[in-house]
Amino acid sequence: MSQFSDLNLNPILLAAVQKMGYDSATEVQTRVIPVAMGGQDVMVSSQTGSGKTAAFLLPILHQIMDAKELEEKSAPEERPAPRKGRRGRQPAYKMPAPHAIVMCPTRELALQVAQEAILLKGTHRDFRVATVVGGMPYGRQIRELQNVTLLVATPGRLIDLYKQREISFDNVHFFIADEADRMLDMGFSEDLETLHKSCINNRQTLMFSATFPPKVMRLAEGMMNHPLRIEISPKDTINKNITQILHWADGREHQKKLLFHWLENAKIDQTVVFVPTQIDAEEIADELKEMGLSVDYLHGGMQQRVRNRCLDNLRRGKIKILVATDVAARGIDVETITHVFNVGVPRQPEDYVHRIGRTGRAGREGTAVTFVHFKDKRLLDAVEDFIQLEIKANVIEGLEPKKEPLRGAPRGGRRRPGGGAGRRSDSRGGRREGSSRRTEGRGDRDRNRAPRGEGRRSESRNERRSTTDRNSRPSRRSSNRSTAV
């Protein structure tokens, strides 16, 4: 593990990182930053919580800042031009032209990335960060684009603005795709290709993804020039400060009793409870409110301003418990979250890693508790194979399951034992929300919940894809194979 001081970062960036309390770089940061600073295209396989956001932001910010400083030194001293034309005339409008674009699958993740970029840019004055996401007013976002340097966006809204000639990509030199596999799962493949091809002067492309299945590899080959491929093992991305605990449950009601026991008895600062569906989020939150607990819920069927207010209340400590679905919860980064509870096992093993990564942040201890119905044993097996760890089952006295399934041998090799003590615990310590299609907001519709029969059925149903002219400019690059590291 390297120190940030060893990575030859711009002094402004190094000061900002140290101000944020970080000295040592994570594995993904140590391996990606030096290569990316040299201008190499990079494909990175890394999980959420591994420090990947800083791994792509720091080298891009470094290159842009260095280029600005060089330009200032080499530029001749300019004298103010004499005034021409009528008095009080406004200067000519200049179309926004960012230097770098970061693409994200969801609004919450885009806002989180933008916030981290603002912190990392530190005291640099001539550097503006802006976001373009669905579900927010067009006018305000267009105004915020003026003089933008780094743009963080979701594909649908950015396509809209580009088609309406509200933004120029002629000055884009850096293109980053974060969580590329999720963007493809949500149907953004064509949008990504169109946006990338429109950046005719792009010099460097970085792609981050939890996994690189064939469809992501095909996208990368069309967008990247001899990329270096860096793989970070999933087991190495799970924070060692997180204790993982498993409880077998006989059914939904048993899962809820186990959850309520933990929430009433464990020493919890703040917590996130992950549930499968929007209806689950609302129902469980209502039951917890009846118990007198400080709680709110978050899901994709809520209007964007309500979701933003909910997340802000969590960050400010105004609520103790947040009951959330996977899609809506992406972007939660609150250091005081001590516990994460999974009511059921996520269908994608990568989502489990993302969920438990909400706790144990900034060097703190965290606890991740999963309540597993017997019928979901195969999903649990997939998670354990993915993280290469067997999560030991705990039992709460008085809430024992009627049976416990046999734990079969892992499909992908031997799992390491661990993830919580296998003992009795005396502390507490519908419909599934879709994530296979788009989850970006449909324009600026002002609603608290999606209409029945649409967004309530699936998160992705109330996120529509924006139409765009597919006749884009020719690509700068041809398909190339990646070099694995």
Q: What is the mean pLDDT of residues 75-82?
A: 58
CB atoms inside a 10 Å sphere around CB 14: 17
Residue 268, pLDDT > 70, answer yes
Contact 392, 418 (CB under 8 A): yes
Contact 462, 437 (CB under 8 A): no
Relative to beta strand 270-274, strand 389-391 is unpaired
For tokens 């129902």, name the residue. 283
What is residue 333's predicted lDDT score, i.e. its pLDDT? 77
What is residue 411's predicted lDDT score, i.e. its pLDDT? 45
Considering the chain, tell me which residue range(s) the CATH 3.40.50.300 domain(s) occupy. 4-71+94-232+472-484, 238-425
Residue 160, pLDDT > 80, answer yes
Q: Where does the pLDDT of residue 417 fall: very low under 50, low under 70, confident under 90, or very high at 90 and above?
A: low
Q: Where does the pLDDT of residue 265 fall: very low under 50, low under 70, confident under 90, or very high at 90 and above?
A: confident
Average pLDDT over the chain reads 81
Structure tokens given for 81:
């031009």
CB atoms inside a 10 Å sphere around CB 101: 26
If DSSP codes are grouped into helix, strand and coil, which group holds residue 430? coil
Strand positions, DSSP E, 154-263: 174-177, 204-209, 228-231, 242-249
User: Which pLDDT tens digit goes with each residue over 111-133?
Assistant: 989 999 999 998 888 899 999 99
What is residue 451's predicted lDDT score, i.e. its pLDDT? 35
Output the CATH code of domain 4-71+94-232+472-484. 3.40.50.300
What is residue 408's predicted lDDT score, i.e. its pLDDT? 53
Model-level pTM?
0.63
φ, ψ of residue 169 to 5 degrees: the values are: -105, 10
Looking at the domain 238-425, which fold is it? Rossmann fold (3.40.50)
φ, ψ of residue 322 to 5 degrees: the values are: -120, 120
